């Protein structure tokens, strides 16, 4: 028997918005601070897929073991990989798992094991496709699946609420292990490969950007700033701002890492100009191959650019550069359902 969905399968993604949508057609979930993960099981074969469509089994052997221990033999789940240290989730410890040394991965899998938070069921244990059904139906299938098969802390059912007040409490910080709230349309099937019917609201305004280039510091040859890019609808990488003020931890080994990636053109659309607009001291910049993704915090956006310099939050090796698109910073209002279908 073969699964009706094949690895890699395009995930349903969320559009960043500034406020939670309202209406009976929406459900709300915690936005976990981790790696998005699709789980495929077909008999003895288990695949873990990242948001970028890459395999993750090598980095999370303990999660593979938890999946293999489930009583169900065929299914596809959508969820988030997280690592808990003490009472809180730690994205930094999660990042440590993306390591080239297998011995290091195995050691960390025992010291800081990952957990899978599951929030959707795309194929059930009988191999039946559920992704084409409305979310409100899929959620009932998922809860029944979880009650039958989730038996330890390695795999857990993610929370959900229909109450806007509860979602607002999560967003205000009542859920210490979350960094925001995701809202999903209950009347829609799984939106593979697009952002229709799913939005996210973060406690901070942040965006995942491609590092399309860098500038050396005005004194010495250290790294002065990272030049940030986002892809438009035509697949063109446009310069949208910069990130400076990097601390010593970020700077460690950064110069060598960036210089290995120097390759023109860096940006295929709007490129960095002189230093006047954002007060960057040097007009000279080095183009990079679009390989690195960084999450930055920002305050305002004007004409498709960050108005001021951004603040470095973290590297995002789990995301593909092609996923760093302009719709992260463009204002789009979520649609309301025209009609609810049963």
User: What interhelical angle do 102-111 and 61-69 show, nearest 10?
Assistant: 60
How many C-beta atoms surround the C-beta of residue 20 within 10 A?
Answer: 20
Contact 173, 88 (CB under 8 A): no
Catalytic residues: 31
For residue 176, what pLDDT is reported? 57
Instruction: Name which of 97, 83, 98, 150 is nearest 119 in CA terms.
Output: 150
For residue 220, what pLDDT is reported? 72
15-202 fold: D-amino Acid Aminotransferase; Chain A, domain 1 (3.30.470)
pTM of the predicted structure, to 2 decimals: 0.78
163's tokens:
């109450």
Per-residue pLDDT of the chain (342 residues; tens, 9 = 90+): 589 999 999 999 999 888 999 999 999 999 998 999 999 999 999 999 999 999 999 999 999 999 999 999 999 999 999 999 988 888 889 999 998 999 999 999 999 999 999 999 999 999 999 999 999 999 999 999 999 999 989 999 999 999 999 999 998 876 557 889 999 999 999 999 998 899 999 888 899 999 999 999 987 779 999 999 999 999 999 999 999 989 999 999 999 999 999 999 999 999 997 543 434 444 689 999 999 999 999 987 878 899 889 999 999 999 999 999 998 887 554 444 333 332
Do the first three CATH levels of 15-202 and 206-328 match, i.e. the same topology?
no
DSSP E strands, the chain: 15-16, 26-32, 35-42, 45-49, 74-85, 88-89, 114-123, 155-157, 178-185, 198-202, 206-216, 223-231, 237-244, 286-287, 293-297, 301-302, 305-306, 311-315
Q: Which CATH superfamily does the domain covering 206-328 fall into?
A: Nucleic acid-binding proteins (2.40.50.140)
For residue 6, what pLDDT is reported? 93
**Helix ranges (DSSP H) in the chain:** 61-69, 91-95, 102-111, 135-149, 164-169, 248-251, 254-259
What are the boundaries of each domain within the chain? 15-202, 206-328
């Amino acid at each position: 028997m073969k699964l009706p969905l094949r690895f890699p399968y395009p995930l349903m993604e969320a559009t960043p918005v500034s406020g939670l949508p309202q209406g009976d057609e929406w459900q709300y979930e915690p936005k976990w601070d981790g790696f998005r993960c699709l789980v495929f099981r077909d008999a003895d074969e288990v695949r873990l897929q990242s948001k970028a469509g890459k395999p993750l089994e090598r980095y999370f052997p303990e999660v593979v073991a938890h999946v293999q221990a489930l009583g169900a033999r065929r299914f596809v789940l959508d969820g988030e990989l997280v690592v808990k240290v003490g009472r809180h989730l730690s994205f930094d410890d999660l990042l440590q798992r993306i390591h080239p040394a297998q011995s290091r991965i195995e050691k960390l899998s025992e010291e800081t094991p990952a957990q899978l938070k599951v929030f959707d069921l795309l194929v059930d244990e009988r191999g039946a496709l559920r992704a084409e059904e409305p979310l409100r139906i899929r959620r009932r299938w998922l809860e029944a699946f979880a009650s039958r098969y989730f038996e330890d802390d390695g795999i857990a059912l993610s929370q959900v609420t229909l109450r806007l007040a509860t979602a607002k409490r999560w967003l205000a910080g009542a859920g210490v292990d979350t960094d925001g709230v995701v809202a999903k349309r209950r009347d829609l099937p799984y939106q593979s490969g697009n952002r229709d019917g799913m939005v996210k609201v973060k406690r901070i305004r942040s965006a995942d950007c491609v590092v399309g280039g860098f500038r050396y510091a005005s004194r010495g040859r250290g790294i002065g700033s990272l030049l940030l890019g986002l892809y438009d609808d035509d697949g063109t990488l446009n310069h949208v701002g910069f990130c400076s003020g990097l601390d010593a931890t970020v700077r460690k080994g950064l110069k060598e890492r960036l210089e290995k990636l120097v390759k023109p053109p860096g940006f295929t659309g709007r490129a960095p100009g002189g230093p006047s607009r954002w007060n960057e001291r040097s007009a000279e910049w080095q183009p990079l191959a679009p390989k690195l993704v960084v999450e930055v915090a920002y305050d305002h956006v004007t004409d498709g650019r960050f108005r001021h310099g951004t603040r470095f939050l973290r590297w995002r090796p789990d995301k593909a550069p092609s996923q760093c698109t302009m719709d992260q910073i463009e204002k789009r209002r979520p649609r309301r359902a025209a009609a609810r279908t049963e």
